[in-house]
Homo-oligomer: A and B are copies of this chain.
Amino acid sequence: MEEKELSKLPEFTFGKLSTAEGRLERVKTTGLGLNAQLSLNPLDPKENEPIEITVRIGLGIAVKAVTLHYTTDGILPQFNRENLHSSTMTLAMQQSAIEWDTLQWSYLEKWTAVIPGQPEGTHVQYAISAITTTDQVIYCPYFSKENIDIDSSLLNRFNSDNQPQIYGFYVDNETIPIWLREAVIYQIFVDRFAPISEKKRLATSELSDFLGGTIKGIIAKLDYLKELGVNCLWLTPIFSSSSSHGYDPISHSIIESRFGTEADWEILVKEAHQKDIKIILDYVANHFSDRHPSFKIAQTQKDSQEYHWFRFREWPDDYQCFFDVPSQPEVNSENPELRQYLISNACQWLEKGCDGFRLDYAHGLSQAFWSIFRNATRKLKPDSVTFAEITQPPDFIRSFTGRMDGCLDFKLLELFRDFFAFNSLTVSQFDRQVRQHLAYFGNSLLLPSFLDNHDMNRFLWVVKGDKRRLQLAALCQFSLPSPPIIYYGTEVGLSQLREVGRLEESRLPMLWREDQDKDLFFFYQQLIAWRRDNNLLWRQSTQPQPLIIDEQQGVYVYGCGNYAIALNNSPQGTTVTLTEGKQGSLVLKTQSEVNWDPQTGNLDLPAYGGAITELTH
């Protein structure tokens, strides 16, 4: 690869986990204390399947007995042994493995119990207690104080004074609605997408100001979106908020007046659905604005219900908040009333026509909560969907199987950018890692894919405006099984003015006039049409089959059903010969210079050129 000038900038997609130090800290932290994360087998228990629960016992803890407490009647597990009327059942967990950990220079134990198979619809809730060798009773998760100096936001979050964490899941045969597998999603940053009057927008110099986008504006652009071909819109938060992005909700029911009214929403839903376009709302459950009425009550009335919705360290002014920003207090997802608030508001929006939710920073709330959330929303609207934003490693993400329909694929994002933008992966590395990644997740958790979003430099900016490279990456994105997401404006060449420091740099106003790149739009139109013509491939979660891996030329060709996807990720043109004995046709090309000779099987790929060829055997 020649273009070393596009050397890899630090990307902080995974926060602390973006650095070697952060990863080491995470691995060490995972090996501490009593920890039942990633502990369910199977991940998504079906009717009558026995459920193996495992707890890891690592550094700092020595136990002599471990007990699993569980209920199947929807009542929280009780720990009072004298209550004979309790429906809580207990199982003695058994040491099932001792493993050596060279990094920690320590053994780790696993203790396991098996909950018998349950009928469809059962809500299983459980907690784990242990007795240490010094006769202390501890509840999972537990970390001894001597080790707590290892900083980790996840640890602190779930380790509140040796209180038992209640884990939970539903035994069900829920499947992911097919429409989500077939979706081509368009992410609309509401304030930036379609102002009623473009003038107003242009007059604003400050990017974090309100730039005037509205729901009415979106309605006005539905024809445009239909023409583009997408069949699902994801709107960034539309509820009351004092910011342009809306990720600090003051309400979960009232539409921000700048964006419009509930009447506007009704029209949007109606017209979108008439065009077979679904609408997904961005739902921020992890943290509220400090101006949210419930937080105001919590902060002024310590004896209120709302006090327990949040995580006060020292009431009223010291509380846990999102990235330590005091204006964004984080919720306590274990509180029943808070759960009820979040779920009932979500359900209202389903009743008002919304088709599902993109769940912001979902790992800030417990998996037990999300099980209940999905169960409630699915019950109300069986084809509604949930997908999460979780910037965590794949093993953690995978544990949301059965609790979410999908998770945004930040790992694939990293691979896309490393390969197509930063050239820090070779073809064989990219091929291997993509296929490992898709195989690791299988078919029961969808991973919507994206090249960029509102929290990072746009892909087109990273490749210095070279749209050939964007097209190449998009071609790859759209020919992998996961539902692709287009960040608004990408299809017409929207980029940035400056490098992201302020995230607002990647949230410029949508291009609507002659500055739209019509060729790029046409390319995306074709790409979307091709994807939607081949829904069967995505329903079956068709994996890429490598056909040509040419490290020197930077060429990657892979099979996708009966298609061959050919990518030349290098600044030199080349010709590849597709397998003999097959004839085919050129279905799509990223540039006019792409040429296909079906007689010889020769495919000419210019620099950063790509193509889809249909092969007939």
Contacts and interface: CB of A to CB of B under 8 A. Distances in A.
A30 to B, nearest CB: 8
Contact of A393 (B30, B64, B100, B428): B100
B102 A429 contact: no
A569 B270 CA distance: 77
A355 B551 CA distance: 58
Nearest to A19: B105
A505 interface: no
B107 A437 contact: yes
A133 interface: yes
A549 B27 contact: no
A37 interface: no
A411 B597 CA distance: 67
A428 B132 contact: yes
Contacts of A134: 428, 549, 551
A343 to B, nearest CB: 31
Contacts of A109: 436
A609 B437 CA distance: 58
Interface in A86-112: 98, 100, 102-103, 105-107, 109
A546 B133 CA distance: 8
Interface residues of A, number: 35
Nearest to A62: B432
Given A98-B440, A109-B436, A62 B428 contact: yes
A504 interface: no
A17 B103 CA distance: 9
A529 interface: no
A133 B394 contact: no
A436 B102 contact: no
Interface in A291-337: none
Interface in A63-122: 64, 98, 100, 102-103, 105-107, 109
Nearest to A109: B436
Interface string A384-416: 000000000111001000000000000000000
A154 interface: no
A252 B431 CA distance: 53
A202 interface: no
A524 to B, nearest CB: 30
A200 interface: no
Nearest to A442: B98
Contacts of A132: 428
Contacts of A106: 433
A23 interface: yes
A429 B62 contact: yes
A24 interface: yes
Contacts of A393: 100, 102, 105
B428 A26 contact: no
A395 B62 contact: no
A423 to B, nearest CB: 15
Contact of A431 (B62, B100, B394, B551): B62
B103 A546 contact: no
B64 A546 contact: yes
A589 B133 CA distance: 26
A203 interface: no
Contacts of A133: 428, 431-432, 546, 549
A569 to B, nearest CB: 15
A439 interface: yes
Interface of A: 17, 23-24, 26-27, 30, 62, 64, 98, 100, 102-103, 105-107, 109, 132-134, 393-395, 398, 428-429, 431-433, 436-437, 439-440, 546, 549, 551
5 contacts: A64-B546, A102-B395, A107-B437, A132-B428, A133-B546
Given A30-B102, A107-B433, A107-B440, 18 more contacts: A17-B102, A23-B105, A24-B24, A62-B429, A62-B431, A62-B432, A64-B546, A98-B436, A98-B439, A100-B440, A102-B395, A103-B103, A106-B433, A107-B437, A109-B436, A133-B432, A133-B546, A133-B549
